[in-house]
Structure 1
């Protein structure tokens, strides 16, 4: 069996938005007990992240590190149509993940104790992001 739903996520600007509960809701309502949950973001300037969900300092430190690795407005970049964060956002997306595969066990994503699913927005300004969640597997 396959179930697919689309999420519309509002990202207020650069940073992370947790979507774990929304993904879990889709998996639970699918009726699938054992299988896989595929999460895909439809954008080239935002990504997905499976990350620590207990201490927000972890996500802050990841953002700080990525800002050092891929600085906004780097003179190396020629693609600047939408501002200093334009090409940096695309590079960040290529270096991170546009999709995640999560195991489904007993009708839920089998996440670790401190794991959460996040949209990682790489643009300065707020954005609406589309995420497709597809659940594959067997019902009980």
Structure 2
């Protein structure tokens, strides 16, 4: 059995937006009792990640790390047609990823106590992002 649904997320610019509840709603709607939920973002300058949902400083610190991994406006970049954050956003997407899988049992995701699913916007300005959830079981 497979079930697929998408939803849009509006970002305000760089940072994380928790999408756990929306993904959980889709998993419940799927009717799959045991399987996998795949979460995929259909863009190349943002990511989906599982990270701690209790302490927001974790997500702030992820921004600090990402700035070290892929700094904005690096003179070595060739791709900057949409601004100083353009290539950095693509690099951050490659490093953090555009998809993830979460096991499903009892019709619910098996996330750990302190885990949440987040869309991580890598651009500095607001964007509308499409997230695709596929549940198989």
Instruction: Confirm or deny a common fold (TM above 0.5).
Output: yes
* Map of 2:39 onto structure 1: 39
Instruction: Structure 1 unaligned segments of length 5 or more: list them.
Output: none
* Map of 1:71 onto structure 2: 71
* Map of 2:119 onto structure 1: 119
* Deviation string, structure 1 residues 79-138 (Cα, Å, up to 9, x no partner): 11000000000001011111001100110010000000000000000000001000001x
1:14 aligns with 2:14: yes
* Map of 2:97 onto structure 1: 97
Q: Secondary structure at the match of 2:79?
A: coil
Q: Normalization by structure 1: what TM-score? A: 0.96
RMSD: 0.6
CA distance in 1, matches of 2:69, 2:49: 17
CA distance in 2, matches of 1:94, 1:27: 26
CA distance in 1, matches of 2:69, 2:92: 9
Count residues in correspondence.
137
* Map of 1:26 onto structure 2: 26
Instruction: Structure 2 unaligned segments of length 5 or more: list them.
Output: none
More strand by share: 1
CA distance in 1, matches of 2:70, 2:36: 32
1:69 deviates by 2.0
